[in-house]
Structure 1
């Protein structure tokens, strides 16, 4: 019977391997060496569960908490063992216990207050806090230091300690040198552990103030102020995001989908002629209409499998959660820009509604929304992302090539955003919008807080004229091949669950 491995199962296996390694320590030199090997395996599994969660889009807030719990169990059981046998100070495991309890307590208060307890922009609002706690270099360095520390102590135990030590008796100065190395390494690890916990302790203090109150349950002024701040942050505010070129690296999702269909010869040859005929009909309306409103090439093509019945804007059916995103070999994989994910996460933490407004096909946009929800879940953030995209007519499980309603480009994006604002009672003057091309100018103009992202020349000029801020999101997410190739060249190696 085959086992379907999930990130949570790998986390459980990691804890089992770690406990098994500690059980082998002190049972002989070769058992100690085996324990060192298992220690390396446990740390590798720590990286694997995060990779598996991102690759298979299985990241959930519960999974993130299980990963934290696994880290706590592993580091505490190792340092406790080495303290019991006299290889490290007893204060070392006490320090790790205290730091873990304090930070987890504050994260729990943050989650109770409506903020995410884990992940990049969540309860941590300062750049230095996010860098020390949430960045990949920080997590990777901390994991490497713990692995090195555990392996060093395990090798010292196997090679130099006891009557069955493999190296045997060493000169006093050599043994002292090994001991000094152990002390330096363990306390450096402890210092970095405290340093990573410092932002949580500093920024988490406001949650203690917000939950403190007089005996008897009376609400304190600070608690009321905190709740008011949280409720006012997201009330009546939405963030509208263009998809291609703004959140997702180009080429566009639909262009990649077209290439996949063409390579698989799923598009009938006559559809190309039909597309040219429709392009001639749309020519008076401009190049935008030809590119965005001409979907005749999909006539007779089997529709994409959906992951549940939702309404036309991408929300799940009433009372039903959105099903988890699963990779579909017929669909392009969204390659989100790294800073775009961070910006969406920031809006989610503010309580803002998040809406994708895209001219791409509705099934592609919905899958992108689900993939973004999984990215947010990897940061401990639960959010449902709405979708406003181009809908196609369906007949007998195939597309007819006809568009239902307006094609979602140009002024249609702004009209759709206004309709959503009316339905959800949003204050457009407080809403945000992000776009990259001149076709997004109507959407940006419809809100009070527009931003031009990776702007085209035309949009850049308009943004400068109207005083709109412009930003550049160029870095791809770590899972993208171009990202890996780029960083392979400069020697940089970049987990969230």
Structure 2
């Protein structure tokens, strides 16, 4: 069930991105509402995995893949629409490639990104990467960026109102990107141990 929610969330994200190029008020308001649904489903899949005891390494990978797809298609679409500078999606995409590469190497040795067998061994790394506070704050910043950028560019709003909403979206974007980089650093630092051929560590119980 949790994996199904992740799949539906990803498909909804793709639908929103395709609709954003139809520049009408009705479509944009629908995109805003669907984006809220996509954001809510990001929390729902994790809740279902815990509630239904469906937590697994496969589920963790599917969850991260869904997050990556949704996050990156929004940033790239906003770039294509002229809402954001090029460096925003570049930073997010490059960070994602590096982090996911290290996580893939860790997964081969039984470590996951989150949970009891997390690859993060330091308390600071765990706090920045896998704590509920860190993940929630990052998710809220991205959610605000996605939702307010769409709402701020919705046709029919008075220019001043639209500008104010867009500015909230831009501030949320920069906070989100900063958090993206900060959360990636512990993975980069602690993931170096998986780059050596003689690493045979086992995840803790």
- TM-score, normalised by the number of residues in structure 1: 0.39
Alpha-carbon contact 1:29-1:157 (below 8 Å) kept: no
1:203 counterpart = 2:190 = yes
Q: Deviations 1:374-428 (Å, cap 9, x if unpaired)? A: xxxxxxxxxxxxxxxxxxxxxxxxxxxxxxxxxxxxxxxxxxxxxxxxxxxxxxx
Is contact 1:120–1:135 with CA below 8 Å preserved after alignment? no
Does structure 2 conserve the Cα–Cα contact (< 8 Å) formed by 1:10 and 1:48?
Answer: yes
Matching of residue 42 in structure 1 with residue 38 in structure 2: yes
- Distance of 1:12 and 1:138 partners within structure 2: 24
Do the aligned residues in 2 keep the contact of 1:26 with 1:32 (CA within 8 Å)?
A: no
Of Structure 1 and Structure 2, the greater helix share is in 2
Deviations 1:424-456 (CA, angstroms, capped at 9, x unpaired): xxxxxxxxxxxxxxxxxxxxxxxxxxxxxxxxx
Q: Which residue of 2 aligns with 1:19?
A: 14
2:178 corresponds in structure 1 to 191
Instruction: For 2:91 and 2:67, locate their aligned partners in 1 and report how far apart those are by CA, in whole Å.
Output: 15
Give the Cα–Cα distance (whole angstroms) in 2 for the partners of residues 95 and 16 of structure 1: 24
Aligned residues: 203
How far 1:175 moved relative to its partner?
6.5
Give yes or no for the alignment of 1:135 onto 2:128.
Answer: no
Following TM superposition, the consecutive aligned residue runs of length 4 or more in structure 1 with deviations greater than 6 angstroms are none
2:144–2:169 contact (8 Å) kept in structure 1:
no
Name which of 4, 7, 16 aligns with 2:2: 7
Of 135, 148, 155, the match for 1:152: 148
Instruction: Name the CA distance, whole Å, in 2 between partners of 1:92 and 1:16.
Output: 23
Per-residue CA shift, 1:149-184, capped at 9, x if unaligned? 1001000110xxxxxx2124x26xx76655544432
- In structure 2, the residue matched to 1:29 is 25
Corresponding residue number in structure 1 for 2:86: 90
- Contact 2:149-2:170 at 8 Å conserved across structures: no
1:167 to 157, 160, 166: 157
Instruction: Select which of 114, 122, 134 maps to 1:119.
Output: 114
How high is the TM-score relative to the length of structure 2? 0.91
Distance 2:64 2:168 in 1: 28
Q: Unpaired segments of 5 or more residues in structure 2? A: none
C-alpha distance in 1 between matches for 2:18 and 2:39: 17
Q: List alignment gaps of at least 5 residues for structure 1.
A: 1-5, 159-164, 212-222, 235-348, 353-497
CA apart distance, 1:91: 1.3
SS in 2 for 1:102: helix
CA contact (8 A) 1:106 1:200 kept: yes
Q: How many angstroms does 1:120 deviate by?
A: 3.7
Deviation at 1:95, TM superposition (A): 1.1
Q: Which has the larger radius of gyration?
A: 1
Structure 2 CA distance for aligned equivalents of residues 167 and 125 of structure 1: 49
Work out the CA distance in 1 between the residues paired with 2:42 and 2:147. 15
Kindly provide the CA deviation profile for residues 226-253 of structure 1, in whole angstroms up to 9, marking residues without a partner as x: 33xx3xxx7xxxxxxxxxxxxxxxxxxx
Matches within 5 A, 1:94-493: 94-112=90-108, 114-120=109-115, 122-158=118-154, 165-168=155-158, 170=159, 180-208=167-195, 210-211=196-197, 223=198, 226-227=199-200, 230=201, 349-350=203-204
Distance change >3 Å, CA 176–CA 152, structure 1 → 2? closer
CA distance in 2, matches of 1:37, 1:146: 15
Higher relative contact order structure (alpha carbons within 8 Å, sequence separation ≥ 6): 2
Q: Distance in 2 between matches of 1:180 and 1:17?
A: 25
Take 2:120 and 2:8, find their aligned partners in 1: how far apart are those partners? Answer: 30
Counterpart CA distance in 2 for 1:149 and 1:195 is 18
SS at match of 2:78: helix
